[in-house]
Every structure is written in C-alpha cells, then in structure tokens.
Amino acid sequence: MKIKIADIMIKAMAQTLADGDTVLHGLGSPLPAIAMHLAKASHAPDLVFFPVSEGLDPNPDRYRLRLSSADPDHFVGAKAVIELIETFDLASKGKLTAMFLGGAQIDSRGNTNLTCIGDYQRPKIKLPGGAATSFLTPLVKKLILWTTHHSKRVFVDRLDFLTGLGYEEGKDKEVTIITDKAVFMVEKGYLVLKSVHKDVSVKDVVENMSFAPIVGKYGVTTTPTSEDMVLIRNIDPDGIRFSEFEG
C-alpha cells in the first residue's frame, strides 16, 4: 500500500513530540490522535496521552479511529477518566506541554482563525469555532498547528478573526505548522520553511501562500517507515484519516 500525504503528516506530527510530553488532542483530530499513538509506540513511551474522549492513555491494541474523536470506544481499556477541565487545569499550571490545533486561516506569525470567514457579526462562513484554541494557545509550550488544505485561502496576510495566538515574544513556546505540502516553524515571529514533503516542490509550497515564508536551509519531511505504517494502518484500517483532505 502506498504511503499517502496523511501518513507523512502523521509522522511529522509525531516527531514534534518528545518523551514525557503531556499532550491533548481535541475533537475532529484524526491525524493528531494517530500521531500521539505513533510517538508513544516509538520514541516517546512516557508521553501522557490526553484524548478528548477523556480516557487516559487509550489502548493502542484496540484503538480504532472513528469519525468522532470523542467516540466512547476510545475509552475502553484506558487507565483513568481525565475530565477535559483537568487538562485545562494542567495547562494553567504550565503542565500541559503540547496541543494540536487546526487553522482555517493562518498568518505569518502562526496566529490562527477558526471562528469565521468575513465579519464576526454577519459572517460569510460561520466556522465551527475555535474550541480550546483561545484558551490554550497562550499556555502550551508546543503548539502544533495543522491544515490539510495548504493554500492562499489558508495562509493569509491578515486573519478575519484572531482565535489563536501563535508566536509570542519572550515566551518559551514552539510553534510548528504541518500542512499537506510542508513543515514550518515560527522563528523570531516569522514562518520559516523547515521541510517539504516527498514529491512536493518549494515552488508549489510558496506559490500557494499569500505571504512569502522564509526559505533558507530546509530538508525533505521524514517519510514513515514500514513499521510506522503498520501502526498507522492498525489504528486506522478504515482510512478515516483521509476524510479531512476531501472538500
């Protein structure tokens, strides 16, 4: 079976996590959920896995990706009930180290909009909303943003609404952005290209953004190993991870 972009993104997400990280994923988060399993099964066995389904450290042997990230099936075989509010308490104490969040619009500082396209009072598109974004983005040390639609529509000069904070001067905070084409990090307040995915050109990356990222030394995003792919396919035999790429 061929390795798809979703799998490369999952591997890149997993690589942002270190052993001992305490990590939360929210609703509508199939790629982060698999990435957390992948990290925990490989280089980060002591990662503390907080899913929005509230079952601490879900059991990878029986975990199957579902259309809702809160599906109670994820709860079976978990070690404890951790109410979401408890992960927010941890964040307030500086003890939630990493969070995955989406971005309908992302700017050059890694700020995000998940609220609306157009004016808030009378939006052109009312998006589902930022969920934990406004609360958590200033509190976590590692913010991992993702989009499956790398485009000028997503990478904008100016957000229609500022839901989440990216770069914050003087703060110990690492902002990584993983797209279906490339990986970026925000350094000194600006987006820097870190790697492009296999078979993607830098031209393709840059031309599909409304602002120019800093392009210096960059690499090719690590492709998942065959061992990684066994885990990814075990967690998601039904290919639910691909559904985010549609539309």
Partner 1 sequence: METKLMGVGETIGLIHDGDSVTLSGVSMVRAPMAFVKEIVKAKRKELSIIDREPGIDFDILIGAGAVKRVRFAMLGLELLGLAPNFRRAAEQGEIEYLETTCGAITNGLRAGAMGMPFVPVKGIIGTDLLPLHEKKGTWRVIDDPFSGEKIVAVKAIIPDVAVIHVQKADKFGNASIEGARFEDVYKAKSAKTLIITAEEIVDTKYFVGHPERNTIPYFYTAAVVHVPKGAYPTACYNYYPPDYGFVKNYVSMCRAGRFDEFIERWLRGEEDEN
Count of residues making up the chain: 247
* 137 makes contact with partner 1 (CB under 8 A): yes
User: Judged by CB under 8 A, does residue 22 bind partner 1?
Assistant: no
CB within 8 A of 27, min separation 6: which ones? 52, 68, 69, 70, 131
Beta-carbon count within 10 A of 109 CB: 17
Q: How many chain residues touch partner 1 (CB under 8 A)?
A: 53
Distance CA 110, CA 186 (A): 7
Q: Look at residues 100, 93, 98 and name the one whose alpha carbon lies nearest to residue 28.
A: 100
Contact 16, 144 (CB under 8 A): yes
Which element (helix H / strand E) includes 227?
helix 226-235
- Which CB, 20 or 129, lies closer to partner 1? 129
Smallest gap from residue 198 Cβ to partner 1 (A): 25
Which residue type does 145 have? L
Q: Is 174 in the site for partner 1 (CB under 8 A)?
A: no
Candidates 161-169, 190-198, 204-212, 228-236; binding stretch for partner 1 (CB under 8 A): 161-169
Please tell me whether residue 28 binds partner 1 under the rule CB under 8 A: yes
Residue 113 and residue 103 in contact, taking contact as beta carbons nearer than 8 Å: yes
Please report, as residue ranges, which positions from 35 to 54 form the binding site for partner 1 (by CB under 8 A). Answer: 52-54
Please tell me the distance from the alpha carbon of residue 62 to that of residue 19, in angstroms, as a whole number. 22
Among 56, 59, 109, 123, binds partner 1 (CB under 8 A): 123
Please identify, using beta-carbon distances, which residue of 13 and 140 lies nearer to partner 1: 140
Which phi and psi angles does 152 have, rounded to 5°?
Answer: -65, -25
Stretch that binds partner 1, among 7-15, 88-96, 141-149, 195-203 (CB under 8 A): 88-96
**What is the per-residue binding string for partner 1 in 92-121, x denoting contact by CB under 8 A?**
x----------------------x----x-
Options 85, 172, 217, 226; binder of partner 1; rule CB under 8 A: 85
Q: Which is nearer to partner 1, 162 or 202 (CB)?
A: 162
Among 45, 72, 189, 219, binds partner 1 (CB under 8 A): 72
Among 3, 56, 162, 192, binds partner 1 (CB under 8 A): 162
CA separation (Å) from 35 to 8, 56, 123?
10, 16, 33
- Residue 163 as a binder of partner 1 (CB under 8 A): the answer is yes
**Which is nearer to partner 1, 9 or 200 (by Cβ)?**
9
Burial (0-12, 13-18, 19+ Cβ within 10 Å), 148: buried
Q: Which residues bind partner 1 (CB under 8 A)?
A: 26-28, 30, 52-55, 66-73, 75, 81, 83-85, 88, 91-92, 115, 120, 122-139, 161-165, 168, 240, 243-244
